Amino acid sequence: MKIRFILLFLCLFIFSCSSKKVLVPHFEVTSNISREVKTPGFWISRIQNPDKIILTEKQIENLNAKISENCPFLKDVLNTDLEEEKVKRSRIDYVNNLKKYSKYYNGISLKKVGSKFTETLKNNIDPDAPINIRFALTIGYTKQKALPTDVPLISSLHTADLNRLAATDLSFCSPVAILYSTKDNLWCYAISEVYTGWIKAEQLIFASKEAISHYFNDKNIAVVTSRFADIYKDTSLSQFYDSVKMDTVMHISKIEDDIIEVKIPFKTLNENLEFMYHYIKKSDVSLGFLPYTQRNVIVQAFKQIDAPYDWGNNYGYTDCSGFVRQVFSCFGIKTPKNSRQQINMKDSIQLSDYNNALKAQTIISEGSSGITLLYLPGHIMLYLGQLDQNPYVIHSIRGYSGKNNKIHMLNKIAVTDLTLGGNSKSKSFLERTTLMSVVK
C-alpha cells in the first residue's frame, strides 16, 4: 500500500513539473489564519444571540417541502413512480455515456482503460431490461457510483486522487428504489434521495415498501453528532460492530444511563430483512434532530475541521457539498447532492455583477453566521462571519491556483477568508463568488 502511494505521489509530482506547476503544502496557505479563528467559540462569541431557534421542527418540515419542490434532484424514494422511470429510461443513451470513459485512466495502474474496458461494462448492462421497482435498505456505509465497477477512473493524471465514478455515499440504512440489475446481478441501478446510480447488490437488503415505511415511521431516533461514532454488540461497549458518520439516523429501542440500544436492519441467510439490537454511546448522538441554532450549526461544522477532502465522499469523508449536506442533515434539513443544487434550494442573492467591495459588504450585511451558503462555480462554502470587513468561511477544499502558477493544496476542511487565489489568473474566491443563500 505504501509503495502505491509513493508511486502516485511521484507521478503527480512529475506531471506537475511537466506543466510548470508548483504544489504548495497547506501550512504555507493557512499560516496567516490564527489559532483562535480556527475554533467554533471564536465565531459563536461574535453572534448576538447564538442560541436563538432559527426554525422550529414544524418550520423545518415546511422548509423541506419547499426545497423538495424547488429541487427535482431530491427524490421521495418510497414514492418512486414506475411509469415516470420508464419514460426517463427511454431517454438514456448508454453507448455515448460510456464512450467518454474510454479516455479515462485506471486510478491504480494509471493507464488509459480504453474501449475494451467500456465495452465490457456495456455488455454487462441490458438497455432494454424491464423496469420492475423493488425497494431496499443499504447495509452500513454504502457507495453509489456512476458506473457498475470497483475500478477507480481518473480523468487526468494531474487529478489522480479524484475517482470520477464516485458519486456519493449513502448513510447507514438509507432507503433506495431498485430499477434493474446488471446481467451478472452484482450491481443494482438505484434511486436514492440524492442520486440515481449503481450500488453493489451485496450492500442491499430487499424488503417490501410497507416494511421499510414502518421502519422509518418510527420517530424515536438518535442522530449521530460526533464526526464518527462506534456501534457495539454488547452493553460493555467492547465488541465492535460498525462505525457510522455524522448525521446518521439510528432508531432507538431503549436508553440505559449513558448507553442507547438501537434497532439495526440486517440481511438473513435467506436475504430477508430482520432486526438486531446493538449499542452506541449517548454522548455521540442527539436524541432527535439538533435544535437549529447558529451555535449548533457552527459546532457541528467545526467537528469536521481538518478532516480530509474527499471528492464524491468516496472514503467516508466529504467534498464541499457533502460537508454542507452532512452539517445541515443533523438538523433534519434536506439538502441536494451538489453545490449548484444546494445554493438554489432557497432563494439566493445574485452577486456576480458586484465589485469586490460591494460583494463583501453584501455578504456581511445580508449573511448570518453559520446558516449562510456562499457559492462560486463548482464550490460551496459556509459563511462564519467577518474580520476587518473580510468574510471568512469554513469549507471542504482541495486546493486553488496561486501566484506564479503555484497550486495551493489544502485537501481538508479548513477556515479561510475569500482572498484565496487573489494573485492568480483564476481570480480570488471573493471575486468568483456569484451567489449567496441564507438557510432559514
Mean pLDDT of 152-175: 91
Looking at the fold, whether 190 and 253 belong to one and the same domain comes out as no
Residue 277 confidence (pLDDT) = 96
Looking at the fold, whether 192 and 120 belong to one and the same domain comes out as yes
Residue 432 confidence (pLDDT) = 97
Residue 27 confidence (pLDDT) = 56
Full DSSP string of 20-33: T-EEE-HHHHSTTS
Residue pair 108/151 in contact (Cβ under 8 Å)? The answer is yes
Looking at the fold, whether 126 and 231 belong to one and the same domain comes out as no
Measured distance CA(271)–CA(416) in Å, rounded: 48
Nearest to 143 by CA among 174, 104, 98: 174
Looking at the fold, whether 261 and 317 belong to one and the same domain comes out as no
Q: pLDDT band for position 26 (50/70/90)?
A: low
Structural domain span for residue 44: 19-55+305-438
Task: Give kind and range of the element (H or E) at residue 4.
Answer: helix 2-18
Mean pLDDT of 342-349: 91
Q: Which three cell numbers mark 7?
A: 508511486
Residue pair 247/171 in contact (Cβ under 8 Å)? The answer is yes
Looking at the fold, whether 109 and 199 belong to one and the same domain comes out as yes
Residue 11 confidence (pLDDT) = 45
Burial 105-139 (b: 16+ CB within 10 A, else e): bebeeeeebeeebbeebeebbeeeeeeeebbbbbb
Residue 307 has pLDDT above 80, yes or no: yes
pLDDT digits (tens, 9 = 90+) for 50-109: 999 999 999 999 999 999 988 888 999 999 998 888 888 766 666 667 888 999 999 999
Residue 19 confidence (pLDDT) = 44
Contacts with 118 (C-beta within 8 Å, 6 or more apart), sequence order:
98, 99, 101, 102
Residue 402 confidence (pLDDT) = 79
Residue where a domain stops, chosen among 190, 208, 226: 208
Looking at the fold, whether 275 and 356 belong to one and the same domain comes out as no
Looking at the fold, whether 83 and 203 belong to one and the same domain comes out as yes
Residue 126 confidence (pLDDT) = 87
Mean pLDDT of 165-180: 93
Measured distance CA(128)–CA(12) in Å, rounded: 41
Q: What is the CATH number of the domain that holds 234?
A: 2.30.30.40
Q: What is the CATH number of the domain that holds 310?
A: 3.90.1720.10
Nearest to 415 by CA among 434, 387, 436, 440: 387
Looking at the fold, whether 395 and 319 belong to one and the same domain comes out as yes
Looking at the fold, whether 365 and 420 belong to one and the same domain comes out as yes
pLDDT digits (tens, 9 = 90+) for 319-342: 999 999 999 999 999 999 999 999
Q: How many domains does the chain have?
A: 3
User: Where is average pLDDT lowest: 13-22, 181-190, 223-232?
Assistant: 13-22
Measured distance CA(315)–CA(299) in Å, rounded: 23
C-alpha torsion 425→426→427→433, nearest 10:
170
Output the CA angle 370-372-433, nearest 5 degrees: 125
Residue 13 has pLDDT above 80, yes or no: no
Whether 165 is in a domain gets the answer: yes
Residue 120 confidence (pLDDT) = 94
Whether 213 is in a domain gets the answer: no
Looking at the fold, whether 78 and 48 belong to one and the same domain comes out as no
Residue 403 confidence (pLDDT) = 77
Nearest to 334 by CA among 56, 72, 73, 64: 64
pTM for this model (two decimals): 0.91
Looking at the fold, whether 397 and 309 belong to one and the same domain comes out as yes
Residue where a domain stops, chosen among 171, 188, 208: 208
Whether 68 is in a domain gets the answer: no
Whether 69 is in a domain gets the answer: no
Measured distance CA(237)–CA(239) in Å, rounded: 6
Burial category of 143 from C-beta neighbours within 10 Å (exposed 0-12, middle 13-18, buried 19 and up): buried
Residue 16 confidence (pLDDT) = 40
Residue where a domain stops, chosen among 208, 234, 266: 208
Residue 21 has pLDDT above 90, yes or no: no
Nearest to 212 by CA among 272, 253, 254, 141: 272
User: What proportion of the chain, given as a percentage, has pLDDT over 70?
Assistant: 91
Looking at the fold, whether 344 and 257 belong to one and the same domain comes out as no
pLDDT digits (tens, 9 = 90+) for 373-420: 999 999 999 999 999 999 999 999 999 887 777 788 899 999 999 999
Residue 103 confidence (pLDDT) = 93
Measured distance CA(27)–CA(23) in Å, rounded: 12
Q: In a 3-state reduction of DSSP, which class is residue 286?
A: strand
Whether 35 is in a domain gets the answer: yes
User: Where is average pLDDT lowest: 15-29, 105-119, 353-367?
Assistant: 15-29
